[in-house]
Amino acid sequence: MHLIYTTLLVLLSLLGTVRAAASDTLGPSKTDYVNYATNFTRVLNDKWFDAKSGLWDGMWWQSANILTTMADLASVNPDFNDTANFVFKSVFTAALATNGGTWLNGYYDDEGWWAMAFIKVWNKDPAHVNSINNELFIDVAASLGNRAEKQANWFLNAGLLTKNNTFHDGLHLATCTAEGPIFSYNQGVILGALVELSKLTGNSSWLDHAAKTANATIRTLVDHNGIFTETGEYPTHGTTVGQFKGVFARNLAYLQSVRGDESYVALLTKSADSIWEHDRDENGFLGPDWQGPIYGISAAAQGSALDCLIAAAAVSA
């Protein structure tokens, strides 16, 4: 009897070892990525969020981008909703006051980041259902939708695309020639835009354009270990460049949700795993280079790495 009992213990021990090995082989799960992101978000907010100003580390458009990160985390972790709602309300009132009672500052891109953030977090308890409210919404949205398609057609043919299907940072006004680095966020935002445009028009060719840019970016900005990197050397272009990669990761997850590609999943999960293994410290801070080692911590770098972890959660089972 003792021999049988001992044998059972050995078998159970071996089974546990096999299960553990299988778990290690499979890598982190969706739940793991969600937990990582939730814990690192707490560090971000504790260290850098100022409820009085409604901003993270005093940054303007970058705070709008982080607000979108908060909304994405709430979408994969309902337990984060209470914290997210507190942050949303604080930002909506305090950031507005900080900027003199307006969301405008003369920069179209800054204003666009705020617009995208509030589209993500908007919610209102309806007290009435009125015709005029709905009619005006339809009118405004349809007008913007029509302009979006015209703008996309112009943009894709404006000379900003490289032969590799990535986007330069801008056009030189005097010569109309493309100039500037191939920043990752320029490759990311267009992915989300084309996904929305495809939904608006029912035209899947917009997704074809998005896939070309996504695939080209992966060929261009991924290192030999499969980890996403950045053209601009951090911190040469300022701390905000540390936030760029997260914008691409977020939008690549959006594209993956409508046009699945295993290479997108591999990039997001490998990069997220590298953040966890090589780009964090004992206090929960995350750095700008996802390959590690950690250095140059900032709210921008923290938010960017969070985008990658949340994106990995979104594409994982």
d(CA 205, CA 225): 31
pLDDT in tens, 126-176: 788 899 999 999 999 999 999 999 999 999 999 999 999 999 999 999 999
Q: What confidence tier does 235 reach under pLDDT thresholds 50, 70, 90?
A: low
pLDDT in tens, 36-56: 999 999 999 999 999 999 999
pLDDT in tens, 194-209: 999 999 999 999 999 9
Phi/psi zone of residue 106: left (φ > 0), alpha (ψ -120 to 50 degrees), beta? Answer: left
Q: What is the pLDDT, as a whole number, of residue 25?
A: 56
DSSP state of 169: S
Q: What is the pLDDT, as a whole number, of residue 236?
A: 67
pLDDT(234) > 90:
no
pLDDT(315) > 90:
yes
- 142-173 as b/e: b if 16+ CB within 10 A: eeeeeeeeeebeeeeeeebbeeebbbbeeeee
- DSSP states along 172-206: -TTT--EES---HHHHHHHHHHHHHHHHHH--THH
**pLDDT mean across residues, the chain:** 91
Q: What is the pLDDT, as a whole number, of residue 10?
A: 40
User: Topology of domain 28-50+124-315, per CATH?
Assistant: Glycosyltransferase (1.50.10)
